Amino acid sequence: MYKLFLCLRYLRSRAIAYFAVVGVALCVAMMVIVISVMNGFLGKIETAARGLFGEMLIMSEGVAGIEDYDAIIRRLKDDEEFPEVESATPFIATYGILRVPGFEYRQTLQVVGIRLPGDPSGAAAVSDFYSEVSDFEQGLHFQRGPDGTPPQQPSFAPSREQLLAAIERERERIDELAEKARAERDEQTLIAAGTARELQRRAMYVLRQAEDINERIAAVEAHMAEVRQARNDVEDLEAELADARLEGLPEDEVQAVADRLAAARDRLSGAMQAGPGGGSRTDDVSAYLTALEDLLRELSARRFEPPSRRAILGLGIPGLVHRTLDGETIRKISPGNKIVLSLVPLGRGTVGTAGLQPIDVELSVVDDCRTDVSSIDSNIVYLPFEALQKLTDMDLPPRCGQVLVKVHAEHSDPDSLLALRGKIERRLVRPGAMVAVRTWRERLSDVIGPLEKNRTLSAIMFGIVSLVSVVLIFVIFYMIVVQKTRDIGVLKAVGASSGGVAGIFLAYGAAVGLIGSVLGTVGGYFFVRYINEIQDAVDRWWGFRVWRKEVFLFERIPNEVEFTTMLWIVLSAVSAGVIGALIPALRAARMQPVEALRYE
């Protein structure tokens, strides 16, 4: 009975014990924080990698691409041949330069082609969607429901009404942010909000006028065709008349040609008079056609492009988003706004240097997507798969750069994935083909490898830290045992056994470990839980930022604490307490009562 009693009493009344508790608490908190962030970071990479690219990747090793991808996907999705596979989708990745018309803006980024439901640009694209392999729809913004639910069917062709309603909601949000920024005198946010509102205004105009503009474009194009036809007729008849005169045809035949020419000139003149926008006031057909081309360009600039000319931007492309001091995002580009992409063709016909001519393509933005992987979100634009295939000369014959494969959860452990990789290589890859099969882990080995090394390094460092806490407890307990030498003598004089005396100090060590680790775990838990808020506050007050998304890939620091991790840390700390107290406890136990009583 006395062991627990004296242990608790020493704990309460020895100030030095508090130092031991604080030491253990700090070590434990540090371990909870670092292990949680490190594990969370690796876990997040795994989730992101699987969420973005599936568990397996069949990739072309050159730019030539994979030709028979539809057949490969069909076989992969055959339950009898590959029961492990849940879904698969073709994928193209290339690079391009992004511009925003009306702004001095250039940005190089990755351009990827993905298949989404409701994408009418490819006749074959009725299944094998990217959204079946990835969590793509989770990151979309403007296609969400009013209550924030992700779309069931992410698409490059959402309805204009849906987009208008989403922009309206976004506008209200930006107004609120601007109001707050005004109160906080946050000039940068105010400027970004102004740009966003202006681009939203244009986007809404485009979306509302889409049908009208398309009709006008069609009318101008038809009219231009009519004028060109009439001009060609006039030019043909002028040539015919000249020939007739040169050949010395009879006067009546020459006159007939002249009459037809006059009629053609009347038709041309009439067509020009009746043209869109009040017609021409000049007889210069070339100038008139040039003016029409300008009009067409102007109308095209305001056109909501067809689904094959649409893009989904990554949320985080530098210059296109602004982050407020509170971490809120202001999107400057809205659905309906235009972007221009300069792309370099990848196809076989253009592999020679002469063929590598970049092409510019105008695209309408329909949404943005946040994967939460900063390095991806800041550097990507998604296009319809078949459209990008055409734009990059990958359509004759149809090819893709990669096939992404999603595996059923029960087959997604590392060993099963390696087995599946071998199976795919044997059955689907022709010998000698420049095609490689990689698991998600192999694909990200350049990211995961250093991280795992870092984790090992951390484990070693924290092993040393744990050792420090053992030494700390040892030193403190040794001091306590020395101070308590006479008490030990008294206890033995009143009949306490050596084991009982050792038990007091071991229980004392365990209690220091337990209390320290509980305090450290609670402290560490709350630190990790609010680590992003703490970082934001430190950044705001002192301008110091530890976690940079450019370095650590993710927007936010992983802040999930695993219960089992905490349990292990608590058990380790209690063990450290007991181990640290072991030698002092044994010393106390071996002490002869007479020596202890005589101790000065």
Partner 1 sequence: MSEPRRGISLAADKLRKSYRLGRVTLEVLKGVSFEVAAGEFVSIMGASGSGKSTLLHLLGLLDRPDSGSVRLDGAEDVGMSGRRRNALRCRDIGFVFQFYHLLPELNVLENVMLPARVEHSPAAWLGQGARARERAQEVLRLVGLAERLKHRPKELSGGERQRVAIARALMNDPRVLLADEPTGNLDSRTGGRIMELVHECSERLTLTVVIVTHDASVAKQAGRCLHLKDGRLVG
Cβ neighbours of residue 352 under 8 Å, at least 6 residues apart? none
Per-residue contact flags (x/-) with partner 1 for residues 5 to 44, judged by CB under 8 A: xx--xx-xxx------------------------------
Instruction: Tally Cβ neighbours within 10 Å of residue 200.
Output: 22
Does residue 182 touch partner 1 according to CB under 8 A?
A: no
Q: How far is CA 16 from CA 28, 473, 582, 587, in A?
A: 19, 10, 18, 19
Q: Which of 138, 27, 83 is nearest to 462 (CA)?
A: 27
For position 123 contacting partner 1 by CB under 8 A, the verdict is no
- Least CB distance to partner 1 at residue 489 (A): 7
Nearest approach in angstroms of CB 10 to partner 1 is: 6
Q: What are the Cα distances from residue 192, in Å, to 98, 320, 372?
A: 19, 9, 22
Q: Which is nearer to partner 1, 152 or 497 (CB)?
A: 497
Q: Among 274, 414, 497, 538, which residue interacts with partner 1 (rule: CB under 8 A)? A: 497
Please say whether the beta carbons of 315 and 381 come within 8 A. no
Please, where are the H alpha helices in 274-308? Answer: 285-301
Question: Binding partner 1 by CB under 8 A: which of 126, 263, 471, 493?
Answer: 493
> 554: which DSSP letter?
B
Site size for partner 1 (CB under 8 A) = 27
Treating both helix axes as pointing N-terminal to C-terminal, what angle do 15-53 and 563-590 enclose, rounded to 10 degrees?
150
Q: Which member of 489, 509, 516, 520 binds partner 1 (CB under 8 A)?
A: 489
Closest residue by Cα to residue 416 from 435, 437, 436, 439: 439
Q: Which helix (H) or strand (E) holds 233?
A: helix 210-247
Residue 484 Cβ vs partner 1, minimum distance, rounded to whole Å: 9
Q: Binding to partner 1 by residue 431, rule CB under 8 A?
A: no
Shorter beta-carbon distance to partner 1: residue 373 or 496: 496
Alpha-carbon distance of 405 to 396, in angstroms, equals 24
Is residue 482 at the binding interface for partner 1, with CB under 8 A as the rule?
no
Name which of 261 and 502 has its Cβ closer to partner 1: 502
112 neighbors 131 (Cβ within 8 angstroms): no
Q: Among 56, 181, 376, 491, which residue sits at the site for partner 1 (rule: CB under 8 A)?
A: 491
Q: Least Å distance between CB 598 and partner 1?
A: 8
Which of 46, 81, 395, 487 is the binder for partner 1 (CB under 8 A)? 487
Least distance from C-beta 516 to partner 1, angstroms? 20
Binding pattern for the stretch 576-595 against partner 1, x by CB under 8 A and - elsewhere: ----------------xxx-
Query: Regarding beta strands 359-369 and 310-314, do their DSSP bridges make them parallel or antiparallel, or are they unpaired?
Result: parallel
State the number of CA atoms in the 13 A half-sphere of 28 facing the CB: 34
Of the pair 213, 502, the CB lying nearest partner 1 is at 502
Kindly tell me which of 105 and 599 has the beta carbon lying closer to partner 1: 599
Strands (E), 385-491: 402-407, 435-439
Report the distance separating Cα 461 and Cα 471, nearest Å: 15
Residue 387 near residue 325 (C-beta atoms within 8 A): no
How distant is the alpha carbon of residue 138 from its chain centre? 11
Select from 289, 490, 522, 586 the one that contacts partner 1 (CB under 8 A).
Answer: 490
Choose which of 494, 541, 543, 544 interacts with partner 1 (CB under 8 A): 494
Q: Under the criterion CB under 8 A, does residue 503 sit at the interface with partner 1?
A: no
* Minimum CB distance to partner 1, residue 180 (Å): 57
> How far is Cα 25 from Cα 83, in angstroms, rounded to an integer?
50
Residues whose CB falls within 8 Å of the CB of residue 59, separated by 6 or more in sequence, listed in order: 66, 401, 402, 403, 435, 436, 437, 438
Query: 125 vs 488, which CB is nearer to partner 1?
Result: 488
Q: Is 496 in the site for partner 1 (CB under 8 A)?
A: yes
Find, among 89, 82, 75, the residue nearest to 402 by Cα: 89
Confirm or reject binding of residue 454 to partner 1 (CB under 8 A): no
- Which residue among 332, 390, 492, 549 contacts partner 1 (CB under 8 A)? 492
State whether residue 152 is helix, strand or coil. coil
Q: Examine residue 479 and tell whether it contacts partner 1 (CB under 8 A).
A: no
User: Least distance to partner 1 from the beta carbon of 522, Å?
Assistant: 27
Residue ranges binding partner 1 (CB under 8 A): 1-2, 4-6, 9-10, 12-14, 486-487, 489-498, 500, 592-594, 597
